[in-house]
């Protein structure tokens, strides 16, 4: 009877629950599926080329990677996309369309500061923004421009080609280059040409740039195909080459180039150059030096001088990969190869390797050039020269054609790296060969977009190469021509981290690390080359040394700080400009008022004020941590130019240097300061601030900090003490207490903005950013 009752009870219970044919997540079948899923994901991760680098990340680097992922995610949602708006800008859209927005992101600033290792694929005449060289022309006596026809009409200007040169002849009354009677090919001084040009100097520079740079409109016309953009692209090199003939301009080029590379975190560069009989015109001369070595002697001289400078301490040097045009016939190619071997004999440290360049689809294939290339190898061996191949290959949309097959020949000919390798992902056997032979691909993301191989970065095959274990690094190819308008690697790095979810800061680090592992820092036989790649920083040579130095730079770069606002890069926001009375602040300081940025951190708000026309001498910044102040100078690179006063001070210390400002200030700016302290110390800080204000007149305390719908105590991080987070009401009450304690009265205005997602995850959904203006009222 009892058994019957039990069974009946179970039956009734079961009947009360609706039968669900879908298995639950804790069922055997579902558990088995997810275990298999996790195992497969782990297997795939282990096969990635960046797997080893990721497994060796320090706790600091892991935290940095997580923080950057959070910032990227936040910008995807709140910068690139706009809720309930049709004006979204696609994160990962064509580079020419995305470029104006990129520099406005926090992720850009993070990428900009990253140590990027080596730039391994860049063509000499297209490495430095042309605006730098054009401006130098105007300050260099004797610089002239000539045109293939009169530039008298818009149509003529569109069809003409131009060239730059240095001339000694003094034109008493030269014919303007825009005159109908202008004789084609006649040099006209640059200044004179600009003065007669529509729009003056600005109009002339804009026109010259149109002969040097692919415009966004041209770059985004993918419907016109690859051959069309290459015709436009190759036409630019004629004008660009004429910019680099006169010695003073060439020296300016190298000094600016190396300086900008260092500023962008690039420590080593390998340059594609040579392959022609370009000559150098010495300072004050008009005719070129017939000695071909003069050009390379100057380059070597500039490398050595820069490395000897203070800034050059962060630059490890440069080498040249001799590059011949793949359109040359056999006789012309052999002639240039002989010149390359001669240059290698004369400049063994400068010249690194050999390549053939220009559009692969229309040039000779490596298969067709194999006899000349084998001959070159044999000649190098007979001369006891090490000049290995670093071939462009696979820079094509083709699959199975002769251009695509350049990948096969490059590998068989023993190339140490592959330039572009865009079509490599289509060839599983060649991928295996590249991995087995430790052949790295020099990936040039922006170039591949602009030259119409990838419609945008989201369609680039880089993730496939990394996933299959192919060594890769990032290069910029021809940044002056292709729209980056910057010498460094930051735009290409940005495109990669923004486009692909599985890259992150750690993935960028792996790419930078690879660039040094596969750098040709010194001549080596194949066995030593592969050994040093394999040993990396565990080796004993120059490569291992440079990798260890880069590792140190990387760790310093990744250094994480326990303040969440700093960890989440809130210091990249110039939030003083969001203050409701920002215009009033600017005008008052311009008129002579004194402003203190209290808890200035990196001093970014001071920089914003200066950029908006406020006299730097009227601005003061102090922080408890002097390291933050120094980091600000490093971040903004203005140690020698910013005249504002910065100092270290503890606002709770009555003997601190803040005493020098007592009774002198009109405005105090505080950002993310008050919420770092418990309530009683916040009261002390506010009273101390009051003592710094001028005794009479309208004074302001402005800024922002974390607020909450309900005031509460919180903990910033695991090792910190409790601090106090205000509601609107409690913040006003604090200033009522300040007024009672100091015999003053204060008006408090408050506004809210959404909090960074990282802070929301720490403190809950009711947290927000509280902006405030606290204004002293006149005494009754």
Instruction: Express each pLDDT in 537-562 by its tens digit.
Output: 999 999 999 999 999 999 999 885 54
317 and 453 share one domain:
yes
Match 């100092």 to its residue by tokens.
647
Tokens describing residue 185: 């090919």
**Whole-number pLDDT of residue 719:** 39
What's the pLDDT score for residue 5?
56
Give the mean model confidence (pLDDT) for residues 84-97.
Answer: 74
- Residue range 288-313: mean pLDDT, rounded: 95
Q: How many CB atoms lie within 10 A of CB 209?
A: 16
- The reply to whether 238 and 306 lie within a common domain is yes
Question: How high is the pLDDT of residue 715?
Answer: 65
Are both 127 and 235 inside the same structural domain?
Answer: yes
* Same domain, yes or no: 453 and 572: no
Tell me which of 389-393, 526-530, 641-645, 756-760 is least confident: 756-760
Q: Are residues 294 and 383 in the same domain?
A: yes
Tokens found for residue 705: 């900090």
CA dist., res. 622 & res. 94, Å (int): 42
Residue 169 is assigned to a structural domain of this protein: no
**pLDDT for residue 514 is more than 90:** yes
For residue 96, being part of any structural domain is answered with no
| Same-domain pairing of 571 and 627 | yes
Same domain, 515 and 607: no
577 and 443 co-located in one domain = no
Residues of the domain holding 500: 117-140+212-279+289-552
Give 756-764 contacts, CB < 8 A, sequence gap 24+: 756/74, 756/565, 756/568, 756/570, 757/70, 757/73, 757/74, 758/67, 758/70, 758/74, 758/564, 758/567, 758/568, 759/564, 759/565, 759/568, 759/706, 762/564, 763/706, 763/708, 763/714, 763/725, 764/708
Residues 7-30: what's their mean pLDDT?
69
The whole-number average pLDDT for the span 685-714 is 91
Q: How high is the pLDDT of residue 525?
A: 97
Domain stops at, among 526, 552, 578: 552
Band (625; pLDDT cuts 50, 70, 90): confident
354 vs 22, which has greater pLDDT?
Answer: 354
Band of residue 718 on the pLDDT scale cut at 50, 70, 90: very low
Is the pLDDT at 628 greater than 70? The verdict is yes
pLDDT classification of 453: cutoffs 50, 70, 90: very high
Give me the residue label for tokens 């660039």.
515
pLDDT attached to residue 316: 98
* DSSP alpha helix (H) spans, 129-225: 130-138, 154-159, 190-196, 200-210, 216-219
Tell me the H-state helices in 394-503.
406-412, 428-436, 445-450, 462-467, 479-482, 490-499
Convert the pLDDT of each residue in 40-73 to its tens digit.
999 999 999 999 999 999 998 998 898 899 889 8
Q: Which residue has the higher pLDDT, 663 or 578?
A: 663
Contact 96, 450 (CB under 8 A): yes
As a whole number, the mean pLDDT across the chain is 91
- Residue 10: what pLDDT? 47
Q: For the chain, how many residues are written?
A: 780
* Strand 667-671 to 700-708 pairing: parallel
- The confidence band for 83, taking pLDDT boundaries of 50, 70 and 90, is very low
pLDDT of residue 578: 85
Q: Do 588 and 516 belong together in one domain?
A: no
* pLDDT at residue 79, as a whole number: 83
Residue 657 lies in a domain: yes
State the CATH number of the domain containing residue 396: 3.20.20.140
Q: CA dihedral defined by 720, 725, 730, 735, rounded to 10 degrees? A: 70
200 belongs to a structural domain: no
Answer with the one of 502, 521, 552 that is the final residue of a domain.
552
Q: What pLDDT, on a 0 to 100 scale, did the predictor assign at position 716?
A: 54
Assigned domain for 84 exists:
no
298 within some domain:
yes
Look at residue 728 and tell me if it is in a domain: yes
Percent of residues, the chain, with pLDDT higher than 90: 75
337 and 439 share a domain?
Answer: yes
The pair of three-digit structure tokens given for residue 250, joined into one six-digit string: 């060439």
Q: What domain count does the chain have? A: 2
CATH of the domain at 752: 3.40.50.150
What single DSSP character describes residue 149?
S
Is 31 part of any domain? Answer: no
In contact, 323 and 274? CB cutoff 8 Å: yes
Query: Do 364 and 471 belong to one domain?
Result: yes
Among candidate residues 552, 583, 610, the one where a domain is terminated:
552
Identify whether residues 540 and 589 lie together within a single domain: no
């Amino acid at each position: 009877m009892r058994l019957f009752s039990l069974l009946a009870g179970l039956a009734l219970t079961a009947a009360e629950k609706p039968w669900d044919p879908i298995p639950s997540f804790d069922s055997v079948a579902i558990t088995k599926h997810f275990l298999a899923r996790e195992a497969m994901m782990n297997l795939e991760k282990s096969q990635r080329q960046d797997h080893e680098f990721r497994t060796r990340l320090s706790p600091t680097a892991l935290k940095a990677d997580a923080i950057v992922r959070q910032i990227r995610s936040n910008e995807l949602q709140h910068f690139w996309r706009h809720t309930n708006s049709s004006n979204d800008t696609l994160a990962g859209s064509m580079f020419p369309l995305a470029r104006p927005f990129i520099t406005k992101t926090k992720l850009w600033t993070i990428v900009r500061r990253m140590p990027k290792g080596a730039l391994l694929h860049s063509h000499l005449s297209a490495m430095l923004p042309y605006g730098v060289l054009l401006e130098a022309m105007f300050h260099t006596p004797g610089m002239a421009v000539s045109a293939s026809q009169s530039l008298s009409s818009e149509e003529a200007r569109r069809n003409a080609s131009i060239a730059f040169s240095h001339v000694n002849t003094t034109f008493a009354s030269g014919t303007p280059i825009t005159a109908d009677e202008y004789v084609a090919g006649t040099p006209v001084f640059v200044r004179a040409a600009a003065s007669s040009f529509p729009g003056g100097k600005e109009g002339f520079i804009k026109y010259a740039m149109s002969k040097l740079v692919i415009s966004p409109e041209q770059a985004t016309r993918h419907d016109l195909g690859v051959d069309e953009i290459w015709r436009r692209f190759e036409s630019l090199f004629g004008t660009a080459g004429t910019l680099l003939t006169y010695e003073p301009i060439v020296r300016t080029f190298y000094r600016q180039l190396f300086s900008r590379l260092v500023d962008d975190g690039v420590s080593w560069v390998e340059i594609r150059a040579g392959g022609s009989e370009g000559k150098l015109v010495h300072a004050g001369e008009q005719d070129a030096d017939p000695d071909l070595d003069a050009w390379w002697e100057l380059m070597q001289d500039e490398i050595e001088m820069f490395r000897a400078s203070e800034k050059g301490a962060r630059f490890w040097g440069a080498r040249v990969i001799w590059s011949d045009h793949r359109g040359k016939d056999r006789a012309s190619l052999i002639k240039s190869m002989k010149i390359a071997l001669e240059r290698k004999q004369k400049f063994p440290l400068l010249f690194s390797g050999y390549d053939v360049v220009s559009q692969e689809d229309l040039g000779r294939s490596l298969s067709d050039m194999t006899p000349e290339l084998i001959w070159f190898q044999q000649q190098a061996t007979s001369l006891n020269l090490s000049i290995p191949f670093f071939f462009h290959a696979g820079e094509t949309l083709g699959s199975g054609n002769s251009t695509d097959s350049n990948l096969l020949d490059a590998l068989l000919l023993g190339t140490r790296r592959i330039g572009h390798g865009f079509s490599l992902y289509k060839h599983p056997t060649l991928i295996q060969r590249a991995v087995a032979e430790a052949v790295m691909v020099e990936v040039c993301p922006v170039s591949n977009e602009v030259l119409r191989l990838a419609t945008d970065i989201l369609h680039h095959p880089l993730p496939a190469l990394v996933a299959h274990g192919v060594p890769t690094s990032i290069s910029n190819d021809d940044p002056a021509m292709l729209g980056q308008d910057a010498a460094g690697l930051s735009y290409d790095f940005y495109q990669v981290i923004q486009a692909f979810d599985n890259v992150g800061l750690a993935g960028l680090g792996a790419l930078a690390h690879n660039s040094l592992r596969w750098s040709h820092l010194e001549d080596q036989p194949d066995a030593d080359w592969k050994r040093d790649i394999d040993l990396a920083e565990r080796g004993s040579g120059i490569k291992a040394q440079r990798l260890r130095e880069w590792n140190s730079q990387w760790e310093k770069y990744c250094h994480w700080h326990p303040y969440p606002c700093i960890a989440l890069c809130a210091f990249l926001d110039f939030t003083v400009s969001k203050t409701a009375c920002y215009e009033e602040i600017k005008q008052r300081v311009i008129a002579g008022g004194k402003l203190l940025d209290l808890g200035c951190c990196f001093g970014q708000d001071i920089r914003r004020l200066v950029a908006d026309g406020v006299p730097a001498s009227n601005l003061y910044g102090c922080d408890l941590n002097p390291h933050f102040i120094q980091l600000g100078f490093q971040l903004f690179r203005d140690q020698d130019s910013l005249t504002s006063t910065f100092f270290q001070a503890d606002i709770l210390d009555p003997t601190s240097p803040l005493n020098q400002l007592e009774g002198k200030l009109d405005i105090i700016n505080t950002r993310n300061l008050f919420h770092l302290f418990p309530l009683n110390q916040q009261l002390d800080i506010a009273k101390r601030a009051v003592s710094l204000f001028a005794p009479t007149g309208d004074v302001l305390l402005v800024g922002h900090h974390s607020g909450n719908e309900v005031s509460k105590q919180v903990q910033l991080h695991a090792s910190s003490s409790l601090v106090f987070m205000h509601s609107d009401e409690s913040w006003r009450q604090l200033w009522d207490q300040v007024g009672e304690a100091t015999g003053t009265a204060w008006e408090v205005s408050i506004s809210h903005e959404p909090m960074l997602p990282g802070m929301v995850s720490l403190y809950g959904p009711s947290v927000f950013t509280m902006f405030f203006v606290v204004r002293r009222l006149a005494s009754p």
